[in-house]
Amino acid sequence: MRILLTSVLLLAVLPSVAAATSARSRHAAIGHPTAPAKIVLRISSGGGFVTPQTNLRALPSFTLYGDGTVIVPGVITQMYPGPAIYPLVRSKLRESQVQALLRRAARAGLLVRGPIDYGTVGVSDMPTTTVLLNAAGRHVKRQAYALGATGGSPLPARQAQARKALTRFIAGLPRGVSGARYVPRALAVYVAPSDGRAQPGASAVVWPLRRDLATAGKRVPSGLNYRCMSVGGADAKSLLAALHNANEVSLWSMRPSPARSYQLIARPLLPDERNCASLAA
């Protein structure tokens, strides 16, 4: 009788142990980098029918770092000319929120091994959405052309479902979290000679640094006459102050030769970005 009773008790306990083990496995932590400058997730979009200057100025729409820091673009008023440098907002997610986000990524299929076929939409001149994800021991890159666009023949069900899952995942990212303005420690500055003709709303701004706008930086492979130089430290603070008094079509000049002007595109560098070369990688 004692043996029978023990067996009955054991059979009663086993289902609850199995359920608890299953619950723990469903919510097991997904490993990811924890360093503040290591990317866990980045969403960006580029290419399409836009000017080369637009691509030089482009910023990721969402970046999550290992310590939970999230950096997203700030609000820009729809006025012309726009700001000389685009604002960014920094906020912080708790580890539980990071885990919830990574579980959503897994459900969207982003952490599967091997490539994901998002198909090709029959439209032209649209941007490509790129997802970088570093979690669960995998460093993956997913790309979908013309995400959200429709056109041409219907996609096969598997491709359509993959695009839908990616669209839903991006739409559910915590963009609305409150945060503070991100002040970059360094900037990438693209410089090109101006033809001297000022666009409507252009202001004249004096270049605050010692580096010569005529020679500083290295040529970028954009098809334009732009060079890129990295600006950090005290120079970055001085330049940010000057950018505050400029706009996107301002003409910049050196103090010794005010008659010669230049066009500038100032792009804030994110924590994982060190210089101009890191943007081209």
Residue 229, in any domain of the structure:
yes
Whether 25 is covered by a domain: the verdict is no
How far is residue 88 from each of residues 17, 19, 80, 147, measured CA to CA in Å?
Answer: 48, 45, 19, 24
Percentage of the chain with pLDDT > 70?
A: 87
Task: Specify whether the CB–CB gap between 147 and 162 falls below 8 A.
Answer: no
Distance, CA of 111 to CA of 87 (rounded, Å): 31
List, in order, residues 6 or more apart from 205 with CB less than 8 Å away: 242, 245, 246, 250, 251, 252, 253
In a domain, 34, yes or no: no
Could you say which of 150, 171, 192 is where a domain stops? 171
pLDDT at 137: 95
Neighbour order of strands in the sheet with 227-232: 204-206, 251-253, 261-268, 186-193, 227-232, 218-219
Q: Is residue 142 part of a domain?
A: yes
| Total domain count, the chain | 2
d(CA 192, CA 278): 20
**Is the same domain home to 166 and 57?**
yes
User: Both 60 and 142 in a single domain?
Assistant: yes
Among 141, 171, 201, where does a domain finish? 171
Nearest to 169 by CA among 11, 25, 43: 43
pLDDT at residue 50 in the model: 86
| Nearest partner of 190 among 126, 124, 248, judged by Cα | 248
Domain identity same for 56 and 151: yes
226 and 261, same domain (yes or no): yes
Residues 272 and 193 grouped into a single domain: yes
Q: What is the pLDDT of residue 176?
A: 62
Is residue 31 situated within a structural domain?
no
Instruction: Give the mean pLDDT of the chain.
Output: 88
209 within some domain: yes
User: Which of 110, 138, 171 is the last residue in one of the domains?
Assistant: 171
Can you name the residues that pair with 187 across neighbouring β-strands?
A: 231, 268
Report, as an integer, the average pLDDT of 188-196: 93
Token pair of 121, please? 């939409």
Q: pLDDT value at position 215?
A: 94
Confidence bin at 78 (pLDDT 50/70/90): confident
Preceding amide of 127 cis, omega within 30 = no
Is position 74 within any domain? yes
Q: Are residues 145 and 227 in the same domain?
A: no
In a 3-state reduction of DSSP, which class is residue 269?
A: coil
Task: Return the amino acid letter for 174.
Answer: P
Shared-domain flag, residues 156 and 203: no
Residue 208: other Cβ atoms inside 10 A: 15
User: 177 pLDDT exceeds 60?
Assistant: no
Domain match, 58 and 117 both: yes
**122 & 43 share domain:** yes
For 44-62, the pLDDT digits (tens) are: 999 888 888 899 999 999 9
Mean pLDDT over 166-178 rounds to 87
User: Residue 2 domain-assigned?
Assistant: no
Helices (H), the chain: 2-26, 52-57, 95-107, 157-171, 233-244, 276-280
The residue among 1 and 249 whose pLDDT is bigger is 249
User: Do residues 117 and 46 share a domain?
Assistant: yes
- Contact residues for 266 (Cβ-Cβ < 8 A; gap 6+): 84, 85, 187, 188, 189, 190, 239, 243
Sequence-ordered list of residues with C-beta below 8 angstroms from that of 16, at least 6 positions apart, any chain: none
What average pLDDT does this structure show over 201-210? Answer: 93
Q: In this structure, what CATH number is given to the domain that contains residue 74?
A: 3.30.1560
Write down the pTM of the prediction: 0.87
Supply 84's token pair.
């000389």
Instruction: Examine the domain organization and report whether 105 and 220 are in the same domain.
Output: no
Domain that holds residue 54: 39-171
Verify that 161 and 189 share a domain, yes or no: no
